[in-house]
Amino acid sequence: MKPLHFLTLILIIPAVIIALVPQNTTHPYKLTAEQLLTEIRTGTQFVSPDELADQIIKQDPSIQLIDVRNPREFDQFSLPGAINIPLQDILSDRNDDLLNQSTKMNIFYSNGSTEANEAWLLTRQLGYQNNYVLLGGLNYWTETIMNPSKPGSFSPNDEIARYDFRKAASMKLGGGGEAALATPAQDKSTTAPKPGVVPVKKKKKASGGC
Amino acid sequence: MGPLSVNEIISPNTNLFLAFIIGIGFGFVLEQCGFSSSRKLAGLFYGYDMVVLKVFFTGGVTAMLGLLFFSLFGWVDLNLVYINPTFLASAIVGGLVMGAGFIMGGFCPGTSFCGAAIGKIDAMIFIVGLFIGVFIFAFGYPLFEALYKAGDMGAPKISSMLSISDGIFAFILVVIALGMFYVSEWVEKKFPREEY
């Protein structure tokens, strides 16, 4: 058999097969259920209110707060610099550049943790990175940062230090107690300017040539 | 699961390392095909040796069928495979420049390094010329920029432009390739050259 005839044979058979089979148009999710379960169980997606308060006070430009509640609730109260993406809009193309990026740390929050966690779960399932969840949501935020409870006088030092930090953060961020007198509570105009989010171009995949 | 690098199954460094290994393999195959001889390469333009066309077309068609089968088995997500964007005007001009250089120099960029690796002096001189061209382009970039970026078509696929499935297009391309192989066998017989 001539080499060219042999080549013809071994190329034409798969070519006929590939022409006849339907195209595979499924878009496999990037994470398997097992991988996701591991991430959920380790809870790496959570950011504690203390960490967040610290970042907000330092005006850390690398964080982007995303409020996943509805616009009405967002207008009533939101954390400084937050943007509103209601949970039902989380998959819209408009938000894709915001959620699937590699420069900022997105932190979802809702009243509790549930909705924010759902938003995280959806984006994580799509394989997006850099999305996190505010632990305990706004309820826990109010409880710990805005109205920190004073530890007993025999509490360990680090607990007192934490209380001091929370009280200071509360004053800075316009929380309750004596701090409310110092700064008008929850007035958006006094908070840090909203950091602009630059939609980043998708990372180019590896290119090549001759 | 694939592409491995995009899905972060392997790190960018591993990716580069694999590219290095594949590059060595590519160079080895080029050398073994005799592509380090400029006479053999120039044969494509004079019709006495069409091996360049056969090797590259076979390589392209094999990779195409491989990717389509991998996609069929769910081993690779074709939507994540990078496709070089098409700039039609600059591709045509660049192709003409590259073709002229190929005929004059007797090498293409990859094969010139292959030839240089086994000590061919003409290949080394070709590489010097290649770098002169690179520097002219790089330093004269403002002059070429308009042409370089002209006619951006994104990353179109011929199959979607013809609104046929990838599989049908692959079949047509395989038939075209095989047709060209038979024609080139005929051309080689028509314009034979004994010693080169």
- Which letter does DSSP use for residue A153 in this model? T
Which residues in chain B are closer than 8 Å to A22, comparing Cβ atoms? 165
Q: Hey, is the C-beta of A10 within 8 angstroms of any chain B C-beta?
A: no
Within chain A, what is the greatest distance between any pair of CA atoms?
A: 95
Q: Region A113-123: what's the mean pLDDT?
A: 89
Q: What's the rounded Cα separation, in Å, for the pair A69 and B191?
A: 76
Of A60, A125, A55, A59, nearest in space to A90 by CA? A125
What is the pLDDT confidence band of residue A26, given thresholds at 50, 70 and 90? low
Which residues in chain B are closer than 8 Å to A208, comparing Cβ atoms? 19
* Phi, psi angle pair for B154, to nearest 5°: 75, -145
Token pair 């290994």 is at which residue?
Answer: B21
For B79, the closest of A12, A27, A209 (CB atoms) is A27
Where do runs of H (alpha helix) occur along A21-135?
A: 33-42, 49-57, 71-76, 96-99, 114-125
Q: What's the rounded Cα separation, in Å, for the pair B174 and B128?
A: 37
Token pair 């590896």 is at which residue?
Answer: A206
CB proximity list for B155: less than 8 A, separation 6 or greater: B83, B84, B85, B86
Q: Region A5-34: what's the mean pLDDT?
A: 80
- Whether the CB-CB separation of A124 and A99 falls below 8 Å is answered with no
Q: What's the rounded Cα separation, in Å, for the pair A128 and A55?
A: 22
pLDDT digits (tens, 9 = 90+) for A166-210: 888 888 777 554 433 333 434 444 444 444 444 444 444 455 555
Q: Which of A2, A23, A27, A124 to mutate to test the interface with B (most CBs of B within 10 A)?
A: A23
* Phi, psi angle pair for B32, to nearest 5°: -65, -25
What is the pLDDT confidence band of residue A30, given thresholds at 50, 70 and 90? low
For B65, the closest of A18, A26, A30 (CB atoms) is A18
Count Cβ–Cβ pairs < 8 Å, chain A vs chain B.
76
Tell which A residues from 25 to 84 touch B, by Cβ distance under 8 Å: 26-28, 30
Is the CA virtual torsion A96, A206, B70, A9 positive or negative?
positive
Tokens of B12: 């960018």
pLDDT for residue B181: 92
Q: Hey, is the C-beta of A205 within 8 angstroms of any chain B C-beta?
A: yes
Nearest-5° angle of CA A188, CA A193, CA A194? 90
CA distance A130 to chain B (A): 15
Nearest-5° angle of CA B130, CA B33, CA B53? 75
CB atoms within 10 A of CB A175: 25
CB contact under 8 A, B175 and A23: no
Q: What's the rounded Cα separation, in Å, for the pair A19 and A21?
A: 6
CB contact under 8 A, A19 and B77: no
Q: Give the CA dihedral A207, B1, B5, B8, nearest 10 degrees.
A: 150
CA distance B73 to chain A (A): 8
CB contact under 8 A, B177 and A26: no
Which residues in chain B are closer than 8 Å to A7, comparing Cβ atoms? 58, 178, 181
Buried/exposed B45-65: b ≥16 CB within 10 Å, e otherwise: eebbbbbbbbeebeeebeebb
CB contact under 8 A, B171 and A16: yes
Question: pLDDT 10s digit of each residue in chain B, 196 long?
Answer: 677 877 778 888 998 999 999 999 998 988 888 888 888 888 888 888 888 888 889 999 999 999 999 888 888 888 778 888 888 888 999 999 998 988 888 888 888 999 999 999 999 999 999 999 999 999 999 998 888 888 788 888 888 888 888 889 999 999 999 999 999 989 888 888 776 6
pLDDT for residue A197: 45
CB contact under 8 A, A19 and B168: yes
ipTM for the whole predicted complex goes beyond 0.85: no
Tell which A residues from 121 to 180 touch B, by Cβ distance under 8 Å: 127
Is a pLDDT exceeding 80 seen at residue A105? yes
pLDDT for residue A192: 43
Residue A56's identity, in one-letter code, is I
Which residues in chain A are closer than 8 Å to B109, comparing Cβ atoms? 210
3-state DSSP assignment of residue A164: helix
- Whether the CB-CB separation of B156 and B87 falls below 8 Å is answered with no
Of A104, A152, A154, A163, nearest in space to A128 by CA? A104
A209, HSE (Cβ side, Cα atoms, 13 Å): 5
Q: Region A13-38: what's the mean pLDDT?
A: 78
What is the pLDDT confidence band of residue A24, given thresholds at 50, 70 and 90? low
- Which letter does DSSP use for residue A186 in this model? T
Q: Region A90-119: what's the mean pLDDT?
A: 86
Which residues in chain B are closer than 8 Å to A12, comparing Cβ atoms? 174-175, 178
- Whether the CB-CB separation of A200 and A103 falls below 8 Å is answered with yes
Q: What's the rounded Cα separation, in Å, for the pair A30 and A13?
A: 32
pLDDT for residue B34: 85
3-state DSSP assignment of residue B173: helix
